[in-house]
Amino acid sequence: MKKIDLKFTNRLINHGPLVVVSARYKARETFTPIAWNMPVEHDPPLVAVCISKENFVNSLIKRSKKFCINILESPYVREILKLGELSGRDGDKLKHVRLTKRKCLKIDVPYLAESSAVIECRLVRDVSLGDVDIFIGRALYSQANEKFKTDLWDPIQLKTIHHLGKNVFATIIKLESFDTH
């Protein structure tokens, strides 16, 4: 993977992919599928994830004030669904899936080596709303594979996973180009 200019971090998730959020506090860590995520600001580069207070990842983010967004493509949808059936509270999820972890560069959190892009974040705001928290993170380091061309994903090659609801998932197709000014 190659380093991405932080000002283009928002483009990694602009199209609404299902992501896996990883977090770690002391020796405890987890990898949690999160459909509800979005870019927030270009500069500073801010992103947000909406996470149930019941999920283990929520407590890890609150304690460590760090999290990592992993963007994986369609070959990994079954592995991601498995991550969503388990809780890191009960042990190491990666024993149950064909996914491997690596150390992030800027934060003490693991990322998934199978990711097509990764965003390492420092928590800047926690908005508590009933049963969920919206965690807003500032991107400290972003990387992506060759399908990300400087400032944009290649829409022909990219096969990110998009959660429509229930157990229904889709990927993307490119529409005709539109001229912008």
Ligand X SMILES: Cc1cc2nc3c(=O)[nH]c(=O)nc-3n(C[C@H](O)[C@H](O)[C@H](O)COP(=O)(O)O)c2cc1C
Under the rule (CB under 6 A), what is the footprint of ligand X? 18, 30, 32-36, 50-52, 55-57, 81, 84, 86-89, 163
The residues near 169 (Cβ < 8 Å, ≥ 6 apart) are 18, 74, 77, 161, 162, 163
Min separation Cβ 130 and ligand X, Å: 12
- What does the block give as tokens for 139? 């991107």
Min separation Cβ 141 and ligand X, Å: 23
Which residue's CB is nearer to ligand X, number 6 or number 132?
132
Which residue's CB is nearer to ligand X, number 50 or number 123?
50
Backbone angles phi, psi at 90, to 5 degrees: -95, 0
Query: For residues 116 and 72, is the Cβ–Cβ distance under 8 A?
Result: yes
Closest by Cα among 103, 105, 96, 112 to 19? 112
Min separation Cβ 179 and ligand X, Å: 35
Helix (H) or strand (E) holding 70: strand 66-71
Which residue's CB is nearer to ligand X, number 167 or number 177?
167
Min separation Cβ 38 and ligand X, Å: 11
Which residue's CB is nearer to ligand X, number 4 or number 101?
101
